[in-house]
Amino acid sequence: QVSPPLREREQAAFFSGRGGEAPGYGKIEVFPERRSLRSEWIHVCLTEGKNREIRNFLCWYGYQVLHLIRLSFGPFELGKIAPGEIVDFSGRAGEAGVRWVNWTRAE
């Protein structure tokens, strides 16, 4: 969720897939979700980096991030994981083609 709602000029750039034009950022895709008078929910796809890059990227355009919810990372969809909950993805990692380097499973 960002505040204020996206301006027309950023909507045109973000929603066309050209949103990653801020200096120092990889490709960032932005899709509209829902809009109110004071804020807007958008779906942001970051191909590399961390959540703070989403905050920094939107700040560069003059927006404040009010809520940031991670939906997935790499090939993993997070689903309905509660705050503080730990989920073992190691079984699904192999199926997704992820290789763990210098990693051993704790017994």
Residue extents of the structural domains in the chain: 2-72
Rounded Cα distance between 76 and 56, Å, is 24
Out of 7-11, 12-16, 64-68, 83-87, the most confident range is 64-68
- Give kind and range of the element (H or E) at residue 53: helix 51-60
The distance from CA 62 to its chain's CA centroid, rounded to whole angstroms, is 18
Rounded Cα distance between 57 and 22, Å, is 7
39 within 8 A of 100, measured Cβ to Cβ:
no
Query: What pTM, to 2 d.p., does this model score?
Result: 0.64
> Hunting for tokens 């932005």 — which residue is that?
30
Segment 90-100, tens digit of pLDDT: 766 666 666 65
Rounded Cα distance between 87 and 78, Å, is 9
